[in-house]
Amino acid sequence: MRNRKHVLCIVGTRPEGIKMAPLIKVLKREPWARVTVLATAQHRDLLDQVLALFDIEPDVDLDIMKPNQSLPELTARLITALDGTFAELMPDIVLAQGDTTTVMTAALVAFYRNIPFGHVEAGLRTHDLGNPFPEEMNRMVAGHLSRWHFVPTERSRGNLLREGISDSAIHVTGNTVIDALLEVAERELPLDVPLDPSRRLVLVTAHRRENFGEPFRAVCRAIRQLADRYEDIEVLYPVHPNPNVRATAHELLGDHPRIRLCRPLDYAPFVEAQKRAYLILTDSGGVQEEAPALGKPVLVLRAETERPEAVDEGVVRLVGTDEARIVTEASRLLDDAAAYRSMARGVSPYGDGLAARRIVAVLRDAMQPEANAGLS
């Protein structure tokens, strides 16, 4: 088709790779769209793993990551690099997902260059700029610069309406993470970590910047207490490569016989680990969305969540970073079968696996009149 619209899809970190992959795949089948994938590589290793799994080869790679990057420096380098690329490519649409520095800067540069921006996973809020930090600010900035807001739930739609965003710009699509999860869960790729099948698996992930220092040390002490107290559990903790996380995790948990620290798992084996898990402790956003769909109880190691839907369903509980509270809440689930069952119901408040198709349908409708007008 002539006059195809140039759609620039941006990915920076692991979760963006996972959540943009289904959208990129569906978009690439659209005759009206010419798709360019730009990796900022805010994450290098974690992003590469995910892109390889989904067979996505970036057309442009900004290779931004530096060890232990500071937020101002990362932001400055992203703005400069993205602006150069936007100037060269002049896309018709820019799409990005979530609340990372990549997304905030992509929305900002698109705004400066007057290129319409579509925000995938829009409208998530805690209404607390310190929790999560800096993501609440990132998504507010991106949200106020977007032409299309693709929100996962009615609740996220309500958040945007209260901020004065026009209802006609908001589209409830579900979260593309469930599209990705369903596709990968079907593949049943092996979890290549030797685990003791006689023990209940407690899966842990943690990386939030607002938890660095004492809150994260308290989380580690709680995990250690649980491993000491319950001989029938085994903890699997794929440690995030952020140096602030790695150092503390290895210092406080590295030598316990029933705590296995490993490198971040590729997405497919990590999904298998979630399926195998009895219980999940995490501060991750994506895991809060995936685990309920897999019927796994989640204790969230954060003060607030922008994903209250699963909390309201009773399958996710916010436990914060207090050592005693984490031990009490996890013990309740490890000791009390009825309490466990009530949280181990498979519910999926964030999506049904069709989010990418809904997003593409909105963009197709928005682009088609112009595209059709250009045909002769």
Nearest to 242 by CA among 112, 68, 22: 68
Which of ligand UD1, ligand UDP, none does 242 bind, CB closer than 5 to 8 A by kind? ligand UD1
At residue 30, the 3 state secondary structure works out as coil
Q: Restricting to residues 22-81, which ones interact with ligand UD1 according to CB under 6 A?
A: 42-46, 65-69, 71, 74
Which of ligand UD1, ligand UDP, none does 205 bind, CB closer than 5 to 8 A by kind? ligand UDP
Q: What value does the CA radius of gyration of the chain take, rounded to a whole number of Å? A: 21
Total number of residues that touch ligand UDP (CB under 6 A): 15
Give the span between the Cα atoms of 299 and 329, in whole angstroms.
Answer: 8
Give the span between the Cα atoms of 333 and 343, in whole angstroms.
Answer: 9
Q: Which amino acid is at 120?
A: V
Give the span between the Cα atoms of 204 and 284, in whole angstroms.
Answer: 10
Using rule CB under 6 A, residue 350 touches ligand UDP: no
Which positions from 206 to 235 touch ligand UDP by CB under 6 A, shown as an x/- string? Answer: -x----------------------------
Which of ligand UD1, ligand UDP, none does 67 bind, CB closer than 5 to 8 A by kind? ligand UD1
- Per DSSP, the residues of 154-221 read HHHHHHHHHTT--GGGEEE---HHHHHHHHHHHH-----S---TTSEEEEEE---GGGTTHHHHHHHH
Which of ligand UDP, ligand UD1, none does 105 bind, CB closer than 5 to 8 A by kind? none
Question: Do the strands 93-97 and 5-11 form a parallel or antiparallel pair, or are they unpaired?
Answer: parallel
CB within 8 Å of 194: residues ≥ 6 apart: none
Q: Catalytic one among 16, 30, 92, 121?
A: 121
Which of ligand UD1, ligand UDP, none does 126 bind, CB closer than 5 to 8 A by kind? none
Which positions from 283 to 322 touch ligand UD1 by CB under 6 A, shown as an x/- string? Answer: ----------------------------------------
| Span of 278-286, 292-300, 326-334, 365-373 interacting with ligand UDP by CB under 6 A | 278-286
- Specify the length of the chain in residues: 376
CB within 8 Å of 360: residues ≥ 6 apart: 23, 26, 27, 30
Count of CA atoms in the C-beta half-sphere (13 A) of 135 = 21
CB 270 within 8 A of CB 190: no
CB of 322 to ligand UD1, least distance (A): 22
Q: Catalytic one among 16, 30, 92, 135?
A: 135
CB of 286 to ligand UDP, least distance (A): 3
Active site annotation includes 63:
no
Nearest to 54 by CA among 34, 89, 26, 82: 26
| Span of 79-87, 249-257, 286-294, 331-339 interacting with ligand UDP by CB under 6 A | 286-294
Which of ligand UDP, ligand UD1, none does 314 bind, CB closer than 5 to 8 A by kind? none
Q: Restricting to residues 205-224, which ones interact with ligand UD1 according to CB under 6 A?
A: 207, 209
Q: Restricting to residues 10-49, which ones interact with ligand UDP according to CB under 6 A?
A: 14-15, 18
| Span of 69-77, 163-171, 263-271, 357-365 interacting with ligand UDP by CB under 6 A | 263-271
Nearer of residues 37 and 287 to ligand UDP, judged by Cβ? 287
Active site annotation includes 240:
yes
Nearest to 66 by CA among 57, 76, 56: 76
Active site members: 99, 121, 135, 207, 209, 240
